[in-house]
Amino acid sequence: MNHASKVILYLCILNSNNFKKMLQRIQTVYLALIFVVIAIMSFLPLVIFHAGDQVFYLNLFRFVGVEGTEVQSILPNPWMLPILSAGVAIISGVSIFRYQNRKQQIKLNMLSMLLNFGLLAALFIMAESVAKLEPVNDTVIYDIASYFPIITVLLLIFANRSIRKDEKMVREADRLR
């Protein structure tokens, strides 16, 4: 398939009625915002730590600012954070395209909410365990990005409300027929 035919196929998909229906629903906006929030969260520091005069922070993938220091060898690997956040983003993306099956969309959103709570728990548990290490001061500064999972939970709640509202309207329309 050459480039021109790929572009034509893409434009046909964009012009299809199903795609337009999907974009007209507010829950699609909420679910897309979840994807954007998780993407932004991956670039920002989540937690800031102090070890003596050294400052380092935890982002979604690793600790930054500890390269070549004694602190680096004792820090835990934050492998669970990117897995959980990727799960939330992927499930939200899949849920967008399940707009014709509202019950399945609600179940996917609940799973995403569960992963969000797991992400929050993993983040706070990891931050507190690092704060208890020997060279690290007890002070933990949670940056604004560490609260993004709460925002995504709220967006999931709004999306589920909108999906339920759509389901109710469809049932009422079927009842009137």
For the chain, give every domain's residue range.
26-176
**More confidently predicted of 16 and 58:** 58
26-176: CATH architecture: Up-down Bundle (1.20)
What is the pLDDT averaged over residues 33-56?
Answer: 89
Residues in Cβ contact with 102 at an 8 Å cutoff, skipping those fewer than 6 apart: 163, 164, 166, 167, 170
Confidence band for 20, pLDDT divided at 50, 70 and 90: very low
Contact assessment for residue 101 and residue 63, using Cβ atoms and an 8 Å cutoff: no
Backbone φ, ψ for residue 47 (5° rounding): -135, 140
Residue corresponding to tokens 């060279």: 135
**More confidently predicted of 153 and 54:** 153
Q: Does 166 have pLDDT greater than 90?
A: no
CA separation for the pair 137, 51 (Å, rounded): 6
Q: Does 4 have pLDDT greater than 60?
A: no
What is the pLDDT averaged over residues 76-100?
Answer: 91
Tell me, what's the pLDDT at 98?
Answer: 86
Torsion of CA 129, 74, 61, 80, to 10 degrees: -50
β-bridge pairing 141-142 and 47-51: antiparallel
Contact assessment for residue 96 and residue 28, using Cβ atoms and an 8 Å cutoff: yes
pLDDT tens for 92-108 read 999 998 888 889 999 99
pLDDT tens for 55-64 read 888 888 888 8
